[in-house]
């Protein structure tokens, strides 16, 4: 009698970073154990014939329950991770929120406690450094020991923005500890000049937000980050690169020896900045802002060619009312868009439309984030010994995006009404069904909240 497995995924088109191969897949004790031709009657089966089987997506950039412009974002760990798992995201990377004067390790512990409501998917943490000091930098090795190996800095936002000297100090400290530095790269001074010019001309309405954070601010900040990366020899992860100029700056600094990893988001690949005729431009306010179609096309081309490392969302949803109450002053509109539940469906849509090789999905959404953030011992690929996080996608069906079918705790989606190629059929977390389509053809969770905190490793 042959080996009996806990679960066999039969005849699917398995998506690996080096190509797509039709094969069977076995799961035991929550991990992948066999890939190939598995004998019949080897255990409970999923018929995946005609479908793609991809590693569960890792959204490395989400913000769960944060305050922006005095408004609390709508997704905590409950609704945020529910939206994630119903969209095929099996692991999310959230951020600590360091209070003024708070220790770095204390901010990590406080964030861990905030997840007490339970998580539908697995999650890991990045540590925001927004109140830097020598004492905070001295805590970095302890934070790494606690399983948080990535540290984020902002070059924008009053009260959080750091200067180049602080950036360099953090790079040296993180390099010594073996971690990775993430940077929100927009030059605060250039933003302030752009904002003042708009205010001087009486341009305060929401539509003018999209001119308040110019691409030049992103490009200049990227150059400064690149120079610091060269100086210290420390790799840096650039979050949400949004413009052709920002991308060109990053690639230029790479050519000079900077070890820069580039992230972008679906909104910068598929949405153009709104024109003056749109009724509610405030709904699309995020930072960096949406750009022109030429920016979008430049990013999309680089995504498919392999120059961009990670596709993530910067998920940070608010309601219509939270956005609309500040529409007369773009400075007060809370920035952020819902996105974690549509990340994988949008990327799959691009792959089926031949904008993106299918195997690049496995890199952008799983392999690369797992390697960069210290998860590659457990996550990131369909590979024996790794957590059996996977999704079944049906290329023969289509999906119409409707906020009524989504699980984020907000009342709108920038993708409302968009028809996507392909359909998410099932989501598995550590070999157990976590979400599936119900009788109304809507994804819904299965079972209990089984997500856990994943300690990153160096």
60-109 pLDDT per residue, tens: 999 999 998 889 999 999 999 999 999 999 999 999 999 989 999 999 99
What average pLDDT does the structure give for the chain? 96
Burial class (CB in 10 A: 0-12, 13-18, 19+), 269: buried
Phi and psi torsions of 414, nearest 5°:
-65, -10
409 to each of 23, 44, 73, 85, 434, how far by Cα in Å? 38, 35, 9, 14, 19
Which pair of structure tokens corresponds to residue 279? Answer: 């009724």
In this prediction, residues 28-37 reach a mean pLDDT of: 97
pTM: 0.98
389 to each of 27, 90, 93, 385, 424, how far by Cα in Å? 10, 7, 16, 11, 14
Distance CA 210, CA 206 (A): 8
- 191-213 pLDDT per residue, tens: 999 999 999 999 999 999 999 99
Instruction: Pick the closest to residue 99 from 58, 127, 64, 63 (CA basis).
Output: 127
Q: What is the pLDDT of residue 1?
A: 47
Structural contact between residues 316 and 63, judged by C-beta atoms closer than 8 angstroms = yes
**Is residue 115 scored above 90 in pLDDT?**
no
Q: What is the pLDDT of residue 277?
A: 86
């Amino acid at each position: 009698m042959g080996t009996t497995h806990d679960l066999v995924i039969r005849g699917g088109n398995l998506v690996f970073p080096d190509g797509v191969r039709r094969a069977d897949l076995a799961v035991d004790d929550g991990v992948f154990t066999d890939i190939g031709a598995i004998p019949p009657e080897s255990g409970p089966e999923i018929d995946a014939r005609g479908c793609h089987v991809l590693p569960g997506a890792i959204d490395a950039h989400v913000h769960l329950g944060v305050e922006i412009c005095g408004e609390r974002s709508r997704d905590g760990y409950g609704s945020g991770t529910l939206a994630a798992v119903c969209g095929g995201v099996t692991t999310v990377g959230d951020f600590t929120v360091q209070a003024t004067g708070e220790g770095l390790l204390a901010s990590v512990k406080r964030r861990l406690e905030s997840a007490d409501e339970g998580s539908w998917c697995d999650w890991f943490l990045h540590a925001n450094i927004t109140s830097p000091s020598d004492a905070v930098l001295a805590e970095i090795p302890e934070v790494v020991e606690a399983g948080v190996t990535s540290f984020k800095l902002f070059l924008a936002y009053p009260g959080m923005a750091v200067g180049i000297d602080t950036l360099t100090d953090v790079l040296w400290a993180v390099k010594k500890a073996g971690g990775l530095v993430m940077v929100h790269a927009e030059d605060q001074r250039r933003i302030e000049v752009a904002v003042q010019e708009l205010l001087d001309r009486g341009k305060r309405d929401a539509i003018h937000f999209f001119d308040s954070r110019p691409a030049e601010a992103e490009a200049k900040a990227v150059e400064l980050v690149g120079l610091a990366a060269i100086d210290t020899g420390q790799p840096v992860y650039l979050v949400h690169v949004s413009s052709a100029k920002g991308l060109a700056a990053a690639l230029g600094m790479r050519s000079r020896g900077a070890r820069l990893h580039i992230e972008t988001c679906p909104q910068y690949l598929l949405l153009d900045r709104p024109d003056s005729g749109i009724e509610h431009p405030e709904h699309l306010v995020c930072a960096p802002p949406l750009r022109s179609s030429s920016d979008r096309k430049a990013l999309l081309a680089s995504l498919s060619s392999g120059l961009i490392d990670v596709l993530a969302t910067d998920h940070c949803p608010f309601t219509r009312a939270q956005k609309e109450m500040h529409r007369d002053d773009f400075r007060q509109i809370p920035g952020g868009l819902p996105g974690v539940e549509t990340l994988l469906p949008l990327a799959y849509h691009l792959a089926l439309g031949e904008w993106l090789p299918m195997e690049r999905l496995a890199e952008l959404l799983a392999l690369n984030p797992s390697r960069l953030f210290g998860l590659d011992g457990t996550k990131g690929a369909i590979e024996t010994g790794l957590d059996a996080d996977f999704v079944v996608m049906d290329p023969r069906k289509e999906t119409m995006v409707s906020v009524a079918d989504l699980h984020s705790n907000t009342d709108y989606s920038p993708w409302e009404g968009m028809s996507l190629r392909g359909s998410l059929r099932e989501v598995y977390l550590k070999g157990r069904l976590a979400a599936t389509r119900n009788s109304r053809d809507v994804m819904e969770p299965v079972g209990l909240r089984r997500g856990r905190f994943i300690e990153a490793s160096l």
